[in-house]
Amino acid sequence: ELTIFRFWSIPAPSPSPSTTMKIGLAILALCAASADAFGVPSTRAFATRSAAMRTSLAMSTAEKTEEKAEKKEDDDDKGDEKKKVEGKKAGDEAPPVNIGWNSHKPVEEVPKTLVREGDGPDGNYPMRAKFEKMCREAQISITKAISDIDGGATFQEDCWVRANGGGGMSRVMSDGKVFEKAGVNLSVVYGSMPQEALQAATERGVDRSKGMAPGERVPFFACGLSSVMHPRNPFCPTMHFNYRYFETDGGVWWFGGGTDITPSYINEDDMKHFHGTYKKICDKHDPDYHKEFKAWADRYFVIQHRNETRGFGGIFFDDQNDRDPDTIFEFSKECLNSVVDAYGPIVEKHKNDEFTQKQKEWQLMRRGRYVEFNLVYDRGTVFGLKTGGRIESILMSLPETARWEYDHQVEEGSPEAEFLKVCQQPRDWV
């Protein structure tokens, strides 16, 4: 028995009768199952010490000495408490923790910029503006290239703004000749997050709330461009990228990003081309980058409950603030502008390959794994849900069709079995 979850109402190729579902039901089921993953820890109750006042007309020298010692200890405790609460507090003008699922307002005309000086926390406004400009230009060039490769469908564009500043622009293609679904989303967010939630949505061990008072929500600025491409042909891999820049009101800033590939079958030449493209870029900027960021991708894109990776990785980095911001910006820019060079030739090469129904079914099962990772583990999804992002944009990454087959076992020695070995033991392709 099998189930195909239909995320859109476009007919999908199916070998046998199947049950179809709207995206809302599929998402609600998975989100409900992992509701705890998106919860914000409750505020801890801190016990307060109190000392009973003592009065005495006659007190021995020993008692006086003991009283002085106790008073000194109490003073030290108060001093420690004062140190603990030191730090910046979120201003009255800071946005609420959840800016609201429906707080975006659609606009017909695309604003010249979504980054305005004076909006959000104080920070590096020139970098904010420069990063948004880079993302806008890349969104236009990438969607044009993908439309040319598809040769049929075009991207639908939606724009929106928020009252407290920021907004976004989504470009989504569906029902293409080559791509079942493809999207490239630009977002500019001015928001606030609880410190616990900010930590949960980012790299473990990194203090993103530095400079803020304990327990205080953290106002932030974020700008990013994210994309997922889902081709029809099982021999054309799915591709994802995300490049982003963050600032917090506490003075912390960082860059993050990466590009990764998720095929359904192994093709050595394709993987050498994709990974080789990004190795050249990494080596140009820092000889240690590729080894570090490739390994980071292999660690990050793990479906923990399956003990396998989502795909064949690429590069992934976060928390990059160890050098001049303009230097990291140039690295991010070159990575983003190389997406088409790394991915386009692979799709062109395989978009007309013949395939069997069994191979199509395997592709849909791998898409099911893709959905599992995105809804349970992906930081971008967690971040968007916790900050009240635009749902259509957050879930744009999901494919239109995916498949879950009960207790599916691959045949020993088959191409599918060889594929799974790579997912369980990531390889170095270059």
Interior CA angle at 23 toward 18 and 26, to 5°? Answer: 75
CB contact at 8 A, 198 and 216: no
Sign of CA dihedral 138, 143, 148, 149: positive
DSSP string, 30-76: HHHHTGGGGPPPPPPPPP---------SS--HHHHHHHHHHHHHHHH
For 115, phi then psi, to 5°, come to: -105, 115
pLDDT of residue 2: 40
pLDDT of residue 381: 85
**Which DSSP helix (H) or strand (E) runs through 184?**
strand 179-193
Pairing of strands 179-193, 166-174: antiparallel
pLDDT of residue 76: 52
Kindly name the residue from 240, 273, 275, 350 that is annotated as catalytic.
Answer: 240
141: which 2 tokens?
A: 């060039």
The pTM of this model reads 0.76
pLDDT of residue 82: 44
254: which 2 tokens?
A: 């960082």
Q: What is the mean pLDDT of each run of 10 residues along the chain (430 residues)?
A: 38 43 40 38 35 37 50 52 51 53 66 84 91 97 98 94 87 96 94 70 61 74 96 98 91 93 98 98 98 97 97 96 96 98 98 98 98 92 78 90 96 98 97
pLDDT of residue 267: 98
DSSP class of residue 288? Answer: T
pLDDT of residue 120: 76
**Which DSSP helix (H) or strand (E) runs through 118?**
none
Find how far residue 192's CA is from the centre of its chain.
17
Nearest to 148 by CA among 348, 396, 418: 348
List Cβ neighbours of 156 (8 Å cut-off, separation of 6 or more).
171, 172, 173, 174
**Which DSSP helix (H) or strand (E) runs through 265?**
none
Judge whether 230 counts as a catalytic residue.
no
Q: CA-to-CA distance for 44 and 215, rounded, in angstroms? A: 9
| Encoded amino acid at 348, one letter | E
pLDDT of residue 50: 37
Pairing of strands 166-174, 156-162: antiparallel
Counting Cα atoms < 13 Å in the Cβ hemisphere of 71 gives: 8
Nearest to 252 by CA among 208, 218, 198, 212: 208
pLDDT of residue 94: 53
